[in-house]
A and B are shown apart, each in its own frame.
Chain A
Amino acid sequence: MSLLSDPRFAEALSHLADYLGSHLRVSIAALALGLAVSFPLALLARNRPTLRNLLLGIASVVQTVPGLALLALFYPLLLALAALTLRWFGLSFSAFGFLPAVLALALYSMLPVLRNTITGLNGVDPGLIEAAKGVGMTERQALLMVELPLALPVIMAGIRTAAVWVIGTATLSTPIGQTSLGNYIFAGLQTQNWVLVMFGCVAAAVLALAVDQLLAFIELGLRTRSRARVGSGTAAIALMVGASLLPSLGSSPARYAIGAKTFTEQYVLSALISERLQAAGLSATSRAGLGSSVIYEALKNGDIDTYVDYSGTLWANQFHHREQMPRAALLAALQQDLARDKITLLGELGFENAYALVMPRQKATALGIRTVEDLARRSRDMSIAGDYEFFSRPEWAALRDAYGLAFRTQRQMQPDFMYAAVASGEVDVIAGYTSDGLIAKYDLVVLDDPKHAIPPYDAILLVSPKRAEDHALQDALRPLLGRIDIATMQQANLRASGSDADSSPQAVARWLWSRIAK
């Protein structure tokens, strides 16, 4: 099948204007801010060795922080800051999306600009600086007329490096709520849609290359003192920014933002919600690929309006309760916790997506393992794999302590690879999810938890404080409550993990609705 006629390609293309525009906006804003800060700092620091070493040291340390972590760190930082400004000045701002992304990326862009500006200026022949003074230039004139022009190639190389880094790293701003070309990559990775992943990567690379070449063109113009070149290069960048603003100006912004975490089920459910809202005549946009802690805060602050979470996750991670409770009691207690944050618990969808220890049925039978208790007796010789969060979540600590689990090795994996790994025997046990369609597909078995160490994980629909009285929204969502059982959700997830045209979250959401509506 030709790539261009692949419906997934058309689907990817339909988001291009939005994703590319957002990506460009956040990148250019970050670069401009980074330049505006680091360029004067470099001028200030070049003749002050202590300050210079300090700045370069800090910038280098920042560079060693992985882009994803740096972006993720800015979210809680701004959140705390927003809480403070609210307390002190009665003013708050959104710590979600654009702002943390711009700040983190700007910080990321500083090292190459600082380093190259300082080295470039310090590399200018001292004899020429003396000559500049000798012919009667002031310090400022010497800087502008001699030092900067001579250091220009090195400085521009730094700016170009920064531009490429920022555009590349901006793909990682998706989890903190900034739409970018990373939306393709994150969604594609989660739903095993390689067309999307490729599309995102290629688009980001092409954008980086285009901006790099434009900057090279401007540099050439500066060097040859050609106003036409500098002007047209700058105009081209301004045009790109302008074009990136157009789509958001043209279409009225969607009224409702639907959040989704970083796994397949969430993509499907947010597509389902989106479809329901549209069917009710409400416009909706999706903020997918958000981190677990980001998404709740985003709802609390009204950056998103609704999303699906799981009771046990909120209970243990968000509200830090350690006590165990039966399903209904936990939901009731949780509702009170949520009410304190003014969040509406609209209701349960009808299925649970619990963490559970999972292993191949054959192996379990052969070893006589039915429960986690049985597993504990053999865990010393076994290996376990979990997703990136699992081993640092309270559920794992509870499970481990309740049963005395101690595995030979413990690995972290991309959730979608985990099931194949346990099925092939690469690991013995995985911490899977009960609603995952792959459990049935690979003939795996969920081990019982007789001590109820793992809390219940009912899928629940949450609505932001801002929409607490929004009946149109809530009425549109209510038909989903109590209608999705575990078998249906497993099937939906299995469909979504396929790699054909029917496996896009939108297609699966339509299928799911057809099942529910029956």
Chain B
Amino acid sequence: MLGPIGRALALPWEGEQRASFEIAKGRMQPTPLISYDRVHKTFAGPAGAVAAVDDVSLDIAEGEFLAIVGSSGSGKTTLLRLANRLIEPDGGSIRIAGEDISCLEPVALRRRIGTVFQNGALFPHMTVAANIGITPRLLGTAPKAVAARVDELLDLVQLDRAAHRNRLPDALSGGQRQRVGVARALAAGPRIVLMDEPFGALDPLTRDTLGSDYRALHAQLGLTTVMITHDITEALLLADRIAVMRSGHLVEAGTPAALAASREPYVAELMTTPRRQAARLAALLPESGAA
């Protein structure tokens, strides 16, 4: 299932894991790659304690593209940050590939997981190449190998090598910055990519292009992606499965079709917007399918 580029992307340290994953896949073992089990996280806010994540259990399968939707403050970011131990849960456990992450070294764990941040969060004092190559460099990859890897990744996210390698992030457009952000997340060949509203601040056209380009990469590289988005339409179009959060609770998780059929009132309410949009578009663009 790895394409030619995907195979090239497999770094030496990571080949073993992939091999074991192929074996696991071959045996069709249903162990989820990421598994939240009754996870709690409470923050001390100014108006008392806030249960940011409240008793959430969620399994994410290998190769799956999961979107997390929900209104502001519903706990999406908290849920994601728990997965790479940027914060620690108050209760419950999180497993990745069967291992309880509380037993893993957090820094090593984060180097194995790719993360794409809102607005890119590129380091402004480093060139595009230095930003992309950061995790391999931290892992001790030789500078030459890092440089070659950076070029591969620039190709992968469709940025011209020569034109972008030595630029500083401030000299890039929002869309280019997010492409670099994606390249940085993929640089060390992770199996898991976490994205927190990666395309939120972009214009709709760029956002759509970037979304579908990323979806293609996800498939091509055999990634497991968890992406937070405000936009339910985006989630429906990109994700295999959607998890709906509301004030710390996981309301429902399912395929777009399952959500469309849901009786849950909050989920039904969420679905009204994309439904209305679809109806409107169908009325406005009757020929688009036929043409």
Which residues of A are interface residues toward B (Cβ below 8 A)?
127-128, 130-138, 141, 145-146, 149-150, 223
Q: Measured between alpha carbons, how far is A132 from B135 in the docked complex, in Å?
A: 10
Q: Note all chain B residues with C-beta closer than 8 A to A127.
A: 117-119, 121
Q: Note all chain A residues with C-beta closer than 8 A to B121.
A: 127-128, 130-131, 134
Q: Note all chain A residues with C-beta closer than 8 A to B165.
A: none
Q: Note all chain B residues with C-beta closer than 8 A to A136.
A: 107-108, 110-111, 135, 138-139, 188
Q: Note all chain B residues with C-beta closer than 8 A to A133.
A: 86, 110
Shortest Cβ distance from residue B261 to the other chain A in the assembled complex, whole angstroms:
36
Assess whether B117 is in contact with A131, with CB atoms less than 8 Å apart: yes
Q: Measured between alpha carbons, how far is A183 from B197 in the docked complex, in Å?
A: 65
CB nearest to B125 among chain A residues? A149
Q: Note all chain A residues with C-beta closer than 8 A to B110.
A: 133-136
Q: Measured between alpha carbons, how far is A141 from B110 in the docked complex, in Å?
A: 14
Shortest Cβ distance from residue B153 to the other chain A in the assembled complex, whole angstroms:
14
Q: Measured between alpha carbons, how far is A134 from B85 in the docked complex, in Å?
A: 9
Please name the 8 residue pairs, one residue from A and one from B, whose CB atoms are nearest each other, closest first: A136-B111, A131-B121, A134-B115, A136-B110, A149-B125, A127-B121, A135-B135, A136-B138
Assess whether A150 is in contact with B135, with CB atoms less than 8 Å apart: no
Interface-centre pick from B84, B86, B123, B135 (highest chain A CB count, 10 A): B123
Shortest Cβ distance from residue A222 to the other chain B in the assembled complex, whole angstroms:
10
Known pairs A135-B184, A136-B111, A150-B125; A130 contacts B86 (CB<8 A): yes
Interface-centre pick from B108, B111, B121, B135 (highest chain A CB count, 10 A): B121
Q: Note all chain B residues with C-beta closer than 8 A to A146.
A: 123
Q: Note all chain B residues with C-beta closer than 8 A to A138.
A: 107
Q: Measured between alpha carbons, how far is A127 from B119 in the docked complex, in Å?
A: 10
Q: Residue A131 contacts which of B111, B123, B125, B139 (CB distance < 8 angstroms)? A: B123
Q: Note all chain B residues with C-beta closer than 8 A to A135.
A: 110-111, 115, 134-135, 138, 184
Which residues of B are interface residues toward A (Cβ below 8 A)?
84, 86, 107-108, 110-111, 115, 117-119, 121-125, 134-135, 138-139, 184, 188
Given contacts A134-B115, A135-B135, 11 further A-B contacts (CB under 8 A): A127-B117, A128-B121, A128-B124, A130-B86, A132-B123, A134-B86, A134-B121, A136-B111, A136-B135, A138-B107, A223-B125
Q: Note all chain A residues with C-beta closer than 8 A to B86.
A: 130, 133-134
Assess whether B123 is in contact with A128, with CB atoms less than 8 Å apart: yes
CB nearest to A152 among chain B residues? B125
Shortest Cβ distance from residue A197 to the other chain B in the assembled complex, whole angstroms:
46
Q: Measured between alpha carbons, how far is A134 from B115 in the docked complex, in Å?
A: 6
Shortest Cβ distance from residue B140 to the other chain A in the assembled complex, whole angstroms:
11
Assess whether A134 is in contact with B125, with CB atoms less than 8 Å apart: no
Q: Note all chain B residues with C-beta closer than 8 A to A137.
A: 107, 134, 138
Q: Note all chain A residues with C-beta closer than 8 A to B124.
A: 128, 150
Q: Measured between alpha carbons, how far is A16 from B192 in the docked complex, in Å?
A: 68
CB nearest to A125 among chain B residues? B121
Q: Measured between alpha carbons, how far is A136 from B111 in the docked complex, in Å?
A: 5
Shortest Cβ distance from residue A450 to the other chain B in the assembled complex, whole angstroms:
79
Q: Measured between alpha carbons, how far is A141 from B123 in the docked complex, in Å?
A: 13
* Interchain residue pairs with CB less than 8 A apart (17): A127-B118, A127-B119, A127-B121, A130-B121, A132-B123, A134-B115, A134-B121, A135-B110, A135-B115, A135-B134, A135-B138, A136-B111, A136-B135, A136-B139, A145-B123, A149-B125, A150-B125
CB nearest to A141 among chain B residues? B138
Interface-centre pick from B110, B124, B125 (highest chain A CB count, 10 A): B125
Q: Measured between alpha carbons, how far is A53 from B118 in the docked complex, in Å?
A: 33
Shortest Cβ distance from residue A142 to the other chain B in the assembled complex, whole angstroms:
10
Q: Measured between alpha carbons, how far is A134 from B194 in the docked complex, in Å?
A: 10
Shortest Cβ distance from residue A402 to the other chain B in the assembled complex, whole angstroms:
70
Q: Measured between alpha carbons, how far is A133 from B115 in the docked complex, in Å?
A: 10
Shortest Cβ distance from residue B168 to the other chain A in the assembled complex, whole angstroms:
11
Shortest Cβ distance from residue B220 to the other chain A in the assembled complex, whole angstroms:
22
Q: Measured between alpha carbons, how far is A138 from B135 in the docked complex, in Å?
A: 11
Q: Measured between alpha carbons, how far is A145 from B131 in the docked complex, in Å?
A: 11
CB nearest to A128 among chain B residues? B121
Q: Note all chain A residues with C-beta closer than 8 A to B111.
A: 135-136
Known pairs A135-B110, A136-B107; A130 contacts B125 (CB<8 A): no
CB nearest to A139 among chain B residues? B107
Shortest Cβ distance from residue A221 to the other chain B in the assembled complex, whole angstroms:
14
Shortest Cβ distance from residue B63 to the other chain A in the assembled complex, whole angstroms:
22
Shortest Cβ distance from residue B236 to the other chain A in the assembled complex, whole angstroms:
27
Q: Note all chain B residues with C-beta closer than 8 A to A130.
A: 86, 117, 121
Q: Note all chain B residues with C-beta closer than 8 A to A132.
A: 123
Q: Measured between alpha carbons, how far is A135 from B117 in the docked complex, in Å?
A: 10
